[in-house]
Structure 1
């Protein structure tokens, strides 16, 4: 396992950046209900797709931050636990911003922060290889982003109560969904966003 030094500023941002909590309905008192036992941690794909999740009935705690890298995961888990969360389910939708040295051992170590009984869903990211830009920073490199699907499968095989939400498989089979005006090879169009949300909701319904 490679060490992955994280600059202090990034570490602080990973913990302190504002998050978005997405509710799905109002109680009799008019207040939003949020199932605090289910947390989704995501990046810009979650920012764009959260409304589709809500339409599917996702009443979870949803925290999204565009540009957040996958190696911010332990900081976000610790922050969530510090809030007193009883995590029955953790959905990890990171990876579209790669951390080149982050590997399966790192992910297993990060997930060890939550109880072994916590159900974990890993949403596999994907970026079209044709969008590789040698001048772009490493975190945008499709080579790093696209290896997470296999890594997530490895971790799911090793950790109980862990499943993969196979967005990468769908995206790879339907590349036109990532070729929209603002897709950049990684963000789906409107139809793709609905599929992304449905894949996560299906995993949430079936993973045990």
Structure 2
């Protein structure tokens, strides 16, 4: 644009633009009869509403999938030392839960609407180990390895997708009874590492109440 174009005499004001827009509309009214224009606008509004409903349905389905995933991540976070906080500067509206699993960290972004599932997870603080740099592919490689190493004793030898040879029903039942006999100590007991982390976090080994998450709200990116 030349200096002449930007001189005070040639700069268009908002009033000028409104006048030009009105002139264009007048030309359109001349070219398109009013009843046809109304019909076109009606079709546009109908299509816009259809798109809005489709978008709402897609978002609802997406949120349901995120919620389902969050339930599983919350369960995993109950099995191993974990912490959650707003630590991703590239996604400040999403909390990050990091699980310290035996084979390496997995981590996930958690939507605010799903934070109620993570009341049992301690908030991220300076003692917690941060993200170790794993990629999404590395995360799920670790999950697959963890799954393979965590197969319960009663499932050993059963036929699965990998084609492992099966065992007799009596032997399978015997292994199941043995596994169940582990009782609370084997299946539902406190993870010793969790207790260690908890004692380091709170000094006396008590886990603080987390019925609400003001400590997370204060850590938003």
TM over 0.5: no
Shorter-chain TM-score tier = under 0.3
Bigger fraction of residues in strand: 1
What is the TM-score normalised by the length of structure 2?
Answer: 0.23
What is the TM-score normalised by the length of structure 1?
Answer: 0.24
Q: Which has the larger Rg?
A: 2
